[in-house]
Amino acid sequence: MTPDTDARGAETPNEGPHPWRRLVSVGDSFTEGIGDPEPGVPGGNRGWADRLAEALSQQVDDFAYANLAVRGKLIGQIQHEQIEPALALTPDLITICAGGNDVIRPGTDPDEIAVQFDDCVARLSSGGAAVVVFTGFDVGWNPVFRPFRGKIAIYNENMRAIAERHDALVADLWALGEVQDPRFWAEDRLHLNPLGHHEVARMVLRTLNVPNELQPMRPDPLPERTWRGARRDDLVWARTHLVPWVLRRLRHQSSGDGVLPKRPDAGPYIGGDSGA
C-alpha cells in the first residue's frame, strides 16, 4: 500500500508496508555510524542509517540499501564525491546530512554552506526520489559546542527553506530532546553512541511515518562525580579527542582520508542486531 500523497512520504498513517525499495544515505561520520561500533557489519560501525535500513527491510522483501557516507567530509566533498554515485544507484529514498563539519569550523558562513547543500538536494530530488534532510543538533547543553549554537540555528533555518523548495522531508535533530544528554554520546563527545543512533533511527522512521517496533532506550544513570573528578575527565577527553581533532584541522587533514564508503553498492541489508 502506498501513502495517500506519493513516494516522498505519507501525510496520513500507513496501514501497510512502506513504498520504498532502495535507500541510499550520503553524508559524513554521523551517517557512517561513528560512535556505534559493531564488528560484524561493513566498516565496523552500525549507526542510525543501518538501523533505519534494517527496520525498512523488515517490511518488504526486495529492499536494498547503500551507505556512501565517510567520516570527516565537508559539504563540498560530499557534493562532488557522493551525489553522482548516489544517483547512479537509482534510489527512491535518499537521506543526506551534510555541512555539520563546515558549521563548526571558525569563519565559515552557514549561508554559503546552504548554497552547496541546495545544489545537492536539487540533484538528488531530480529523479523523483524522496529526500530526507537533517537539521543540526541543539548543542546548548554541551559547553564545548555551545558557542556554535547560533550558527547552527541559522544553518537549520536554511535546511528548512531548502527542504520546502525541493519538497524534501526534514528530520529534526534540533527537536530531538532525548539526545541532549551526555549519556547518548560516545566518549569523544563528538559522535552519538549506540543509544543516540537508536533514537535518531526512531526519529527518522517517525519522519517517514513508518510504523516500527523500535522502542525508546533508557540509559543508565550518570555516576556521581566530584568537581575534581569531572575536571580530570575533561582533561583526559581534551588530550585524547579534542587536541587530535584540532591538530588535524591545522594540518588540513581529515579522519576520512583514505576511508572508503562502507556500503558502496545497493543490496539487501545484512548485519547488526535488534538491540541498542
- What confidence score (pLDDT) does residue 217 get? 83
Cα–Cα dist 49/54, whole Å: 9
Q: Which amino acid is at 129?
A: A
Confidence of residue 219 (pLDDT cuts 50, 70, 90): confident
Question: What pLDDT score was predicted for residue 189?
Answer: 73
Q: Are 36 and 46 in contact (CB under 8 A)?
A: yes
- Within 13 Å of residue 152, how many CA atoms lie on the same side as its CB? 20
Task: List the domains of the chain with CATH numbers.
Answer: 22-217+260-267 (3.40.50.1110)
pLDDT tens for 91-135 read 999 999 999 999 988 899 999 999 999 999 999 999 899 999 999
**Local structure of 119: helix, strand or coil:** helix
Question: What was the pLDDT predicted at 218?
Answer: 80
| pTM (predicted TM-score) | 0.86
Q: Which residue has the cell 527537536?
A: 175
Q: Which three cell numbers stand for residue 4?
A: 495517500
10 Å Cβ neighbour count for 151? 18
CB-CB contact of 21 with 60 (8 Å) = yes
Question: Is the pLDDT reported for residue 229 higher than 80?
Answer: no
d(CA 71, CA 55): 24
